[in-house]
Structure 1
Amino acid sequence: MTALKDMPISFPGLFGDWEFNPDPIAIHIGHGIYWYGIILAIAMLAGLLLCMKQAKRFGLTEDNVLDMILWAVPCCIVGSRIYYVIFYLDLFRNADGSLDWGRIVAIWDGGLAIYGTVIVGILVAFIYTRVKKLKFGAMTDLCVMGLLLGQCIGRWANFINREAFGAETTLPWRMRLWTSATQYIEVHPTFFYESLWNLIGLLLILFVVSKGRRFDGENTCFYFLWYGLGRAWVEGLRTDSLYLFDWTFLGQPIRVSQALSVLLAVAAAALLFYNIKIKKHDAADLLVNQVALTAAAEDAAQTGESVEPAAEAPAQQETVPAPESAAAQAPEETKGEADHGDPH
């Protein structure tokens, strides 16, 4: 079911007859600048700034973050689009069955899948950390915070586009969308559910999980556990899910994102249990602690080098005789005058 993008949005159970009718195109120049793209750009920028601010907590630098983002952003956009197109391929075909490449590249009309972003992002982070000889787990622990913030903001692009909504409901916070000039539906605002879920997850990582990290990769595992559980729930409410071809489970079509979310949540829970309850980790193995120890050793070495020359300086000074005082020279001068004085 598709909602019209030029019809108003309302929440009758909360705000009565008040309506909001955002134009998907923010600036009407050329092909138009869409709110979808603007919101995603804001989401990426916010995630980047958060990662740069938090980098030191993970033993990384702002330059590390910027370098990786330069590679990750374009790769993730392409990966996200490819993931979406693969599972919605029929939407991108012409009447004769051929692919409509113009529609495939038109990402401003919507159609990005977050798991495509995550998969490609992990691959880029893995390659980058190998090249730069950094810890993969430390980098992903930092990046998942920016990712959660970006997801939290990015979901509002779905709101502007009247997409990614849920099944019909009578709950007080139901969202009314129009499917024609005279027909409307009242549905779950699933974009808001996921945005709020991601915000809570971000706050938990920032103020709880990160402060007690026992190993590099703990934030990452928590992200997949938290997001996987939330996405599995939200995906069950949506009506526009990507389906795994024509496969079924217990007579029901398999939702790709829901199945993947459950698998990732289970895997993340298993990794957390193993690394917390079974495998013991030394805090010194965290990249941030290794960087701190290295910096302390370098500071100590520099301090030692500056103190040693100062201690040797007195021994290197030459002894210079002190000049005789005028009082000491006076008797000699008087004696000389007595010996050579005029005769009487």
Structure 2
Amino acid sequence: MLASIQPIDPVAISFGPINVAWYGLIIGTGIILGYILANREANRLGLPKDTFADLLIWAVPIAIISARIYYVIFQWEYYSGNPGAIIQIWNGGIAIHGALIGAVATVIIFAKRKGLSFWKIVDIAAPSIILGQMLGRWGNFTNQEAHGGEVSRSFLEGLYLPDWIINQMYIEVNGSFSYYHPTFLYESLWSLVGLILLLVLRKVNPLRGEIFLSYVIWYSIGRAFIEGLRTDSLMLTDTIRVAQLLSFLLIAGAIAIMAYRRKTGVTTRYTDKRNK
């Protein structure tokens, strides 16, 4: 049976010498759906027309570049000796935390230049971000990457996964094949639950900024635990995983900001007219 297992071809479509990968199609779909979701909410809350279209023109490429820079920084031992590989993003090597840093920095500058509320923009964007993350992990699935440690087939069958997922988790690493934890799936499902919670939170008209801060807390909790299962973590030291450390700092930071804003009374609800 094992000999008959064939992994999913990571190339979805070929046009002569041009290959279009499933990963790119999935990421592109996430961006489009995220834009639609955000644009509808932006219109409802009265943001200027095309606000998110204008924002995405800058945020998407900056997020990709910052995601690559982040990855390269924590793999500098390799890239310092192979500087030509730094720009070879098509070979893999981007980090979601780097993308988020770049995107948030872009929103700060964009909001200031447009005279808009930073918190309002990121509150609108938060469900779209976690939607993109939920879908994006399936790009990792098609590439057989971002997986966890070795497990047995019976373990995967015990999760009641369909064969097409179980078979894709039969991966060659260092010349030998084994089944691996589908950590892509764990994070995708965590993000799906987070998306539902954020959309529910949106309906109850929370304090401004708290949809985004809740996203940061929710995603970071899941990432901290799931990262512990992965085998490809960026490491700060031999024992400290960068994503776990940053996740804990983000949880603490988001809670602190939420508490500070509540204590000082600078937050408003979306029914209020003040733009803070």
TM-score (norm 1): 0.69
Provide, for residues 18-70 of structure 1, a one-character-per-residue CA deviation record: whole Å limited to 9, x for no partner.
Answer: 84521112233325222222221111111111111221344424411111111
For residue 279 of structure 1, report the CA deviation from its aligned partner.
4.5
Is 1:27 aligned to residue 30 of structure 2? no
Following superposition, the deviation at residue 291 of structure 1 comes to: 8.4
Structure 1: distance between partners of 2:86 and 2:179: 30
Q: CA 1:89/1:36 → structure 2, altered by over 3 Å: closer, same or farther?
A: farther
Report the RMSD for the aligned CA atoms in angstroms.
Answer: 2.6
DSSP-derived class of the 1:83 partner: helix
Whether the 8 Å CA contact 2:205–2:270 is kept in 1: the answer is no
The count of corresponding residues between Structure 1 and Structure 2 is: 262
Counterpart contact for 1:155–1:192, Cα < 8 Å: yes
**Alignment correspondent of 1:230:** 222
The one of 194, 205, 209 equivalent to 1:201 is 194
Once the two structures are superposed, residues 276-300 of structure 1 have per-residue CA deviations (whole angstroms, 9 ceiling, x without a partner) of: 5x45567xx44564289xxxxxxxx
Secondary structure of the 2:246 match is helix
**What residue in structure 2 maps to residue 145 of structure 1?**
127
Could you tell me which runs of 5 or more consecutive residues in structure 1 were left unpaired when the two chains were aligned: 1-11, 293-344
Q: Distance in 2 between matches of 1:82 and 1:288?
A: 40
Alpha carbons of structure 1 residues 91 and 31: separation in structure 2 relative to 1, 3 Å: farther
Moved more, 17-26 or 74-83: 17-26
**Which AA in structure 1 matches 2:204?**
G
Q: Is the 8 A contact 1:56 1:288 kept in 2?
A: no
**1:60 partnered with 2:47:** yes
> Following superposition of structure 1 onto structure 2, how do residues 6-17 of structure 1 map, counting pairs within 5 Å?
none
* CA deviations over 1:198-227 (Å, ceiling 9, x no partner): 1110110102x1123342211111011101
Name the CA distance, whole Å, in 2 between partners of 1:71 and 1:288. Answer: 29
After superposition, give the CA deviation of every residue in 1:116-158 in whole Å (9 maximum; x if it has no partner): 1110111110111111111110001011111111111111111
Q: Rate the CA distance shift 1:180–1:258 in 2: closer, same or farther, 3 A.
A: closer
The one-letter code of the counterpart of 2:173 is T
Distance 1:106 1:35, change over 3 A: farther
Are residues 109 and 39 of structure 1, via their aligned partners in 2, closer, same or farther at CA, if it must alter by over 3 Å? farther
For residues 234 and 286 of structure 1, what CA distance do their matches in structure 2 show?
Answer: 33
Question: 1:257, 1:58 → 2: CA distance?
Answer: 34
Counterpart of 2:86 (choices 104, 111, 135) is 104
Give the Cα separation in 2 of the matches to 1:279 and 1:234.
35
The separation in 1 between residues aligned to 2:228 and 2:116, in whole angstroms, is 38
Answer yes or no: is 1:178 the counterpart of 2:172: yes
- Paired residue for 2:108? 126
Which residue number corresponds to residue 68 of structure 2?
81
Counterpart in the other structure of 1:264? 250
Helix, strand or coil for the counterpart of 1:26? strand
Q: Give 1:160's aligned residue.
A: 142
Partner of 2:151, secondary structure, is coil
Structure having the higher Rg = 1
Does the aligned pair in 2 maintain the 1:165–1:190 contact within 8 Å? yes
User: Any gaps of 5 or more consecutive residues in structure 2?
Assistant: 160-165
- CA deviations 1:280-337 (Å, max 9, x no partner) are 567xx44564289xxxxxxxxxxxxxxxxxxxxxxxxxxxxxxxxxxxxxxxxxxxxx
Change (3 A) 1:289 1:19: farther
Cα distance in 2 between the residues matched to 1:113 and 1:257: 9
2:163 aligned partner: none
2-structure distance, mates of 1:258, 1:136: 27
**Which of the residues 57, 60, 66 maps onto 1:70?**
57
- Per-residue deviation at 1:275? 4.1
Q: Does the residue aligned with 2:171 lie in a helix, a strand or coil? A: strand
| Alignment TM-score, normalising by the size of structure 2 | 0.85
Match of 2:9, SS state, is: coil
Equivalent residue of 2:178, what SS? strand
